[in-house]
Copies of this chain bind each other. A is one copy, B any other.
Amino acid sequence: MPEANSLIVVAMGISTHQEPVVYMHKDCHICRSEGFSTNARVLLESNTAELVATLNIVENSLLMHGYIGLSNIALHQLGVSAGQLVTVKHAPVLTSMSLVRKKIHGQRLTEQELDLVMQDVSSHKFRDIEIAAFLSACAGSRLDVDEIIGLTRAMVACGKRLHWPGHERIFDKHCIGGLPGNRTTPLVVAIASAAGLVIPKTSSRAITSPAGTADTLETLFQVDYSLADMERIVNAAGACLVWGGAVSLSPADDLMIRIERELDLDGEGQLIASVLSKKIAAGSTHVIIDIPVGDTAKIRTHADADRLEQLFVKVATACGLQIRCLITDGSRPVGKGIGPVEEAKDLLAVLHCASDAPPDLRVKSLMLAANLIDMAEACGLDSALDKATQILESGKAWLQFQHIATAQGGLRELPEAPYAEVVKAGRSGVITAIDNRRLARLAKLAGAPFDVTAGLRLHANVGSRITAADTLFTLYSETTGERDYALEFYRNNTSMFTIVATQ
């Protein structure tokens, strides 16, 4: 009797992000006959598709008898529109949650088991609290090497995969982040692809930082492209700089990353599987990983970095990838801008070889590009560095960056933030340390990355000698609420800059 369980779809217009929510009246005949209560998991079926969603019970006249409200993501996932009929029943038992419980209780998961979990995550069968439980169970160092390998392969298996006929070797780079600024990726891709390397680069949006590479690049050109577009762009320009989320190279990862962000959580195994699954799915064969180390970077000690490097190498090798990890200086922000637009300004300055281009960003990008060129040509690092420098200084990198931008819809004019607040040092001396975490938090409170012009521009960095009247940084924001909130945070956290008085 499909009719008995049929309801008419109402578009509630409510955004519930990735968790599909449906709204049914408490007196609805289906609620009563099926025994549904709030937070029940229900199976919706249209003529062509089905979807598991979380139920919120409505107790007033918001919904009429015979109707079911769908949140935006539920409407989108089920592919229905207002007025259509759907049937509703109990969702089948999510058997893969028993595997999550197994992991929570400290047992290992096999590749086949991780595969089942990732299939269900990627097909939206996990609720947010279930994803949160899985991430917490896997966080820290709770996945062993075999599990990380299994998770990586499982993440690849539940998404699409690119192939590059005619190219034997495909290159890529990744920075594990945690350092404000540090926007080397676009520079490395421009330089290395100008040297002839094919680089189908996908980047993420921010997880816990004030800007991901995709957030920064989106201020310069379009980054949300389909997989087919991505192939077209790489075939046209030899490289691309697109957002990984839209191409669904690792759809399970895309869903988990949002919860990781909301919990401000980063797990070592999740990190490696997230990074490598996207590289493998993109068809990469040679990858460099930038691991910044510093007291307030994501990786705090060289021992941790060494351990992470070993894990990366083991997992990559097991998955047939050639990998080179570079442990870099994570003790201070790289570049001057923090936040999407401010970081984009730094990029352009380096590409233009402008006199005010941040030298640290330039040097680091050249070093990373040189490593890629050395992996490709086995010419030795000194020679590769000469080549990279020549490409940047001759303007070839800027030309190549413009090629990529053209293939991605053309360069955009950078917007300006409506509010800029100059913040003075208030103390004199030498800056001996900057707390990356609190600096990132400051930029986030100012609105980054959702407000693209929000963030800050450092007028001094570690090693700078300043007087009390000198500008320490300019804070940019798009709303006064966020500006005031960020400034209040700074006033309570001026110690994020360690300034040692000198004689």
Contact = CB atoms under 8 A, between A and B. Distances in A.
Interface of A: 11-17, 23, 26, 32-35, 37-39, 56-62, 71-72, 89-90, 97, 101, 104-106, 127-137, 139-142, 259, 262-265, 447, 450-451, 454, 478-482, 485
A259 B140 CA distance: 22
B57 A15 contact: yes
B129 A259 contact: yes
A237 to B, nearest CB: 32
A145 to B, nearest CB: 17
B35 A478 contact: yes
B101 A61 contact: no
B264 A101 contact: yes
A57 B15 CA distance: 5
Nearest to A73: B38
A72 B59 contact: yes
Contacts of A479: 32-35
Contacts of A16: 38, 56
Instruction: Tell me which of A71, A101, A131 has the highest count of chain B C-beta atoms within 10 A of its own C-beta.
Output: A101
A479 B90 CA distance: 13
A11 B60 contact: yes
Contact of A15 (B15, B58, B259): B58
A443 to B, nearest CB: 13
Given A129-B132, A133-B133, A13 B101 contact: no
A14 B56 contact: yes
Contacts of A97: 263-264
Contacts of A481: 33-35, 89-90
B132 A14 contact: no
A288 to B, nearest CB: 27
A251 to B, nearest CB: 19
A132 B97 CA distance: 13
B265 A101 contact: yes
Nearest to A89: B481
A23 B33 contact: no
Nearest to A10: B62
13 contacts: A12-B58, A15-B59, A32-B479, A33-B479, A33-B480, A35-B451, A90-B485, A104-B136, A106-B140, A106-B141, A127-B262, A129-B259, A130-B263
